[in-house]
Amino acid sequence: MRLQRLDLMAFGHFTNYSIDLSAGRYGLHIIYGPNEAGKSTSLRGLTALLFGFPTRTDDNFKHANKDLRVGAILENRDGKVLRCVRRKARTATLLHAESSQEVSGSHWAEFFPKIQEDHFLRMFGLTHESLRQGGEDLVRGGGDSGQALFSSASGIANLQQKHQSLEDRIEELYGKAGRKGRLYDKLKQYKALRDDEKKVAMSMDQWRRLEKQLQESKDQLEEYRTQSDAVQRQLLEAQRIQRSIPTVAKYLERLRSISMLGAATKLPRDFEERVQKVLGAKAEKQVASEEIANQLRSIESELVKIPESVWDDEQEAKVRSLLSGLGIYLQALEELPKLKIQSEQLARRAEQKWDEIGKLDTLRDKLEKQKIPLSHKKWIGTLAKQYEALEKQVADRKLRLSKLRKRLDEDQNSESLPLSDESLKMLEQRIQQYRPLAGQSDPLAALLMESQRGQDRLEKGLQRWRIPCQTAEELVRFPVASLPSIERWEKELDKRQEALEKARSEQSAQDRKRSAKQREWDREAKKIRVPTRQEWEASKQARDGLFGMLAEHRSGSTERWNELSDAYAASVQSADEMAAELLDQAELVAQREQLQEAILELEAQVAEWALACQERDSELTLGQQAWQAFVSEHRIAVETPTEALEWSQAVSSLQREAQDLLDKRIRIEQMQTAIQQAIVVLNESLAACGFAAEPCDGLDRALTRAELVLNKANESRGKAEAIEGQRQLNLQEYRDQTSEIQGLEDQFKELKTQWFDALADIALPDDATPVEVQTILDQVTELQQTTDEIDVTRVRLRESQERIDRFESALRPVLDWLAGASPESADAISAQASTESKVRWLERQSKLSSQEQEKRVTLETLKKTTQEQLDQASGVIRLLDRELEQMQELAGAQDQEQLRELARNSREYHLLDLDRKDLQERLFAECNSRDIDPFVQRVEQADADQITIDIKHLSEEIRRIDQAREEAIRATSALQRDYDQLDTSGRAAMLATQASGVGLEIEEAVQELATLRLASAALTAGIERYRSANEDPILKLASESFRQMTLGRFRGIEISLDDAGKHLLVGRRAEDGPGSEVLVEQMSDGTRDQLYLALRLASLEQWSKVHEPLPLVVDDILVHFDDQRSVETLKQLVRISSQSQVIFFTHHQHLLDLARETLPIDQVFFHELANASG
241-297 pLDDT, tens digit per residue, is 888 788 888 878 877 777 777 665 667 778 778 888 888 888 888 898 899 889 888
Q: What is the predicted pLDDT for the residue at 579?
A: 61
What residue type is 226 in one-letter code? T
Q: Is 80 exceeded by the pLDDT of residue 381?
A: no
Q: Is residue 1174 part of a domain?
A: yes
Q: Mark residue 53 as left, alpha or beta (left: phi above 0; alpha: psi -120 to 50; beta: remaining).
A: beta
Q: Is 50 exceeded by the pLDDT of residue 656?
A: yes
Phi then psi for residue 973, to 5 deg, are: -65, -40
Which of 156-160, 841-845, 1078-1082 has the weakest average pLDDT? Answer: 156-160
Sort strands 1164-1168 and 2-11 into parallel, antiparallel or unpaired. unpaired
Taking a C-beta distance cutoff of 8 angstroms, is the pair 577, 552 a contact?
no
Q: Are residues 739 and 662 in the same domain?
A: no
| CA 441 to each of CA 445, 585, 698, 980: distance values in angstroms, whole numbers, following the listed order | 6, 106, 9, 150
Q: Are residues 3 and 87 in the same domain?
A: yes
Q: What is the predicted pLDDT for the residue at 156?
A: 46
| CA 148 to each of CA 135, 168, 595, 908, 1024: distance values in angstroms, whole numbers, following the listed order | 10, 21, 20, 50, 11
Its domain, for residue 394, covers 373-419+690-761
Contacts of 433 (CB under 8 A, 6+ apart): 678
Q: Mark residue 1068 as left, alpha or beta (left: phi above 0; alpha: psi -120 to 50; beta: remaining).
A: beta
Total domain count, the chain = 5
Q: Is 70 exceeded by the pLDDT of residue 364?
A: no
Higher pLDDT, 234 or 138: 234
Mean pLDDT (whole number) for 874-893: 84
Q: What is the pTM of this model?
A: 0.34
Note the maximum CA span of the chain: 213
Crossing angle of the two packed helices 944-981 and 204-261, in degrees rounded to 10: 160
Q: What is the predicted pLDDT for the residue at 748?
A: 66
Higher pLDDT, 1055 or 51: 51
Higher pLDDT, 832 or 593: 832
Return the HEC string of 879-938.
HHHHHHHHHHHHHCCCCHHHHHHHHHHHHHHHHHHHHHHHHHHHHHHHCCCCCHHHHHHH
Q: Is 60 exceeded by the pLDDT of residue 904?
A: yes
Q: Is 50 exceeded by the pLDDT of residue 818?
A: yes
Q: How far apart are CA 95 and CA 109, in angstroms?
A: 14
Q: Is residue 1125 part of a domain?
A: yes
Helix (H) or strand (E) holding 2: strand 2-11
Sort strands 1077-1079 and 69-75 into parallel, antiparallel or unpaired. unpaired
DSSP 674-731: HHHHHHHHHHHHHHHTT------SSHHHHHHHHHHHHHHHHHHHHHHHHHHHHHHHHH
Mean pLDDT (whole number) for 795-822: 81
Q: What is the predicted pLDDT for the residue at 88?
A: 92
| CA 673 to each of CA 435, 450, 659, 705: distance values in angstroms, whole numbers, following the listed order | 15, 19, 21, 21
Helix (H) or strand (E) holding 1088: helix 1085-1106
pLDDT in tens, 1112-1125: 888 888 878 888 88
Percent of the chain with pLDDT over 90: 3
Q: How far apart are CA 24 and CA 1137, in angstroms?
A: 10
Q: What is the predicted pLDDT for the residue at 415?
A: 47
Q: What is the predicted pLDDT for the residue at 732?
A: 64
Beta partners for residue 85, in sequence order: 71, 95
Q: How far apart are CA 333 and CA 449, in angstroms?
A: 13
Q: Is residue 2 part of a domain?
A: yes
Q: Are residues 591 and 518 in the same domain?
A: yes
Taking a C-beta distance cutoff of 8 angstroms, is the pair 1116, 128 a contact?
yes
Q: Where are the alpha helices (DSSP H) in 526-557?
A: 533-552
CATH of the domain at 76: 3.40.50
Q: Is residue 813 part of a domain?
A: no
Domain stops at, among 711, 731, 761: 761
Burial-class residue 310 by CB neighbours within 10 Å (0-12, 13-18, 19+). Answer: middle
Side-chain half-sphere exposure of 244, counting CA atoms within 13 A: 30
Q: What is the predicted pLDDT for the residue at 1174?
A: 36
Q: What is the predicted pLDDT for the residue at 377?
A: 64
Beta partners for residue 519, in sequence order: none
Q: Are residues 45 and 63 in the same domain?
A: yes
Q: What is the predicted pLDDT for the residue at 1173?
A: 46
Q: What is the predicted pLDDT for the residue at 738?
A: 53
Q: Are residues 400 and 383 in the same domain?
A: yes
Q: Is 70 exceeded by the pLDDT of residue 509?
A: yes
Highest average pLDDT, of 158-167, 380-389, 734-743, comes from 380-389
Mean pLDDT, rounded, of the chain: 76
Q: Is 50 exceeded by the pLDDT of residue 465?
A: yes
pLDDT band at 24 (very low <50, low <70, confident <90, very high): confident
Q: Are residues 714 and 618 in the same domain?
A: no
Neighbours of 148 (CB within 10 A): 31
Percent of the chain with pLDDT over 70: 72
Higher pLDDT, 980 or 839: 839
Contacts of 794 (CB under 8 A, 6+ apart): 343
Q: What is the predicted pLDDT for the residue at 357?
A: 65
Q: What is the predicted pLDDT for the residue at 848?
A: 80
Helix (H) or strand (E) holding 667: helix 641-688
| CA 1054 to each of CA 641, 1031, 1072: distance values in angstroms, whole numbers, following the listed order | 39, 10, 14
Q: How far apart are CA 579 and CA 540, in angstroms?
A: 10
Q: How far apart are CA 726 and CA 453, in angstroms?
A: 65
pLDDT band at 417 (very low <50, low <70, confident <90, very high): very low
pLDDT band at 102 (very low <50, low <70, confident <90, very high): very high
Highest average pLDDT, of 54-68, 126-140, 768-782, 927-941, comes from 54-68
Which of 4-13, 91-100, 403-412, 766-775 has the weakest average pLDDT? Answer: 403-412
Exposure letters 647-685 (e unless 16+ CB within 10 A, then b): bbeebeebbebbeebbebbeebeebeeebeebbeebbeb
Q: How far apart are CA 921 and CA 114, in angstroms?
A: 47
DSSP 797-845: HHHHHHHHHHHHHHHHHHHHHHHHH-HHHHTTS-TTS-HHHHHHHHHHH
Q: Are residues 603 and 738 in the same domain?
A: no
Q: Are residues 22 and 91 in the same domain?
A: yes
Taking a C-beta distance cutoff of 8 angstroms, is the pair 159, 1148 a contact?
no
Q: Which of 131, 118, 114, 69 minimizes the C-alpha distance to 94?
A: 69
pLDDT in tens, 824-876: 666 666 667 788 787 788 778 778 878 877 887 888 888 889 889 889 988 88
Q: Is residue 655 part of a domain?
A: yes
Q: Is 60 exceeded by the pLDDT of residue 1022?
A: no
Q: Which of 334, 316, 338, 315 minimizes the C-alpha distance to 326?
A: 334
pLDDT in tens, 1118-1165: 878 888 888 889 988 888 888 888 999 888 888 888 888 888 888 899
pLDDT band at 766 (very low <50, low <70, confident <90, very high): low
Phi then psi for residue 1112, to 5 deg, are: -95, 120
Q: What is the predicted pLDDT for the residue at 144?
A: 46
Q: How far apart are CA 632 and CA 639, in angstroms?
A: 10
Q: Which of 1048, 1147, 1111 minimizes the C-alpha distance to 72?
A: 1111
Phi then psi for residue 95, to 5 deg, are: -125, 155
Q: Are residues 76 and 107 in the same domain?
A: yes
Q: Are residues 489 and 612 in the same domain?
A: yes
Q: Are residues 661 and 700 in the same domain?
A: no
| CA 941 to each of CA 244, 248, 917, 954, 1077: distance values in angstroms, whole numbers, following the listed order | 12, 11, 22, 20, 75
Which of 590-604, 605-619, 734-748, 1030-1044 has the weakest average pLDDT? Answer: 734-748
Q: Is 50 exceeded by the pLDDT of residue 154?
A: no
pLDDT band at 83 (very low <50, low <70, confident <90, very high): very high
Q: Is residue 296 part of a domain?
A: no
Highest average pLDDT, of 604-618, 918-932, 987-1001, comes from 604-618
Phi then psi for residue 875, to 5 deg, are: -65, -40
Q: Are residues 76 and 18 in the same domain?
A: yes
Q: What is the predicted pLDDT for the residue at 1015?
A: 65
Q: What is the predicted pLDDT for the residue at 149?
A: 46
Taking a C-beta distance cutoff of 8 angstroms, is the pair 641, 490 a contact?
yes
3 state DSSP class of 539: helix
Q: Is residue 7 part of a domain?
A: yes
Strand order in the sheet with 81-87: 14-20, 2-11, 69-75, 81-87, 94-96
Q: What is the dihedral of CA 1007, 1012, 1018, 1022, to 10 degrees?
A: 150
Q: Is 90 exceeded by the pLDDT of residue 1103?
A: no
Q: Is 70 exceeded by the pLDDT of residue 239?
A: yes
Q: Which of 1091, 1093, 1104 minimizes the C-alpha distance to 1064?
A: 1091
Taking a C-beta distance cutoff of 8 angstroms, is the pair 838, 815 a contact?
yes
Q: Is residue 217 part of a domain?
A: no
Mean pLDDT (whole number) for 762-770: 60
Q: What is the predicted pLDDT for the residue at 767?
A: 60
pLDDT band at 86 (very low <50, low <70, confident <90, very high): very high
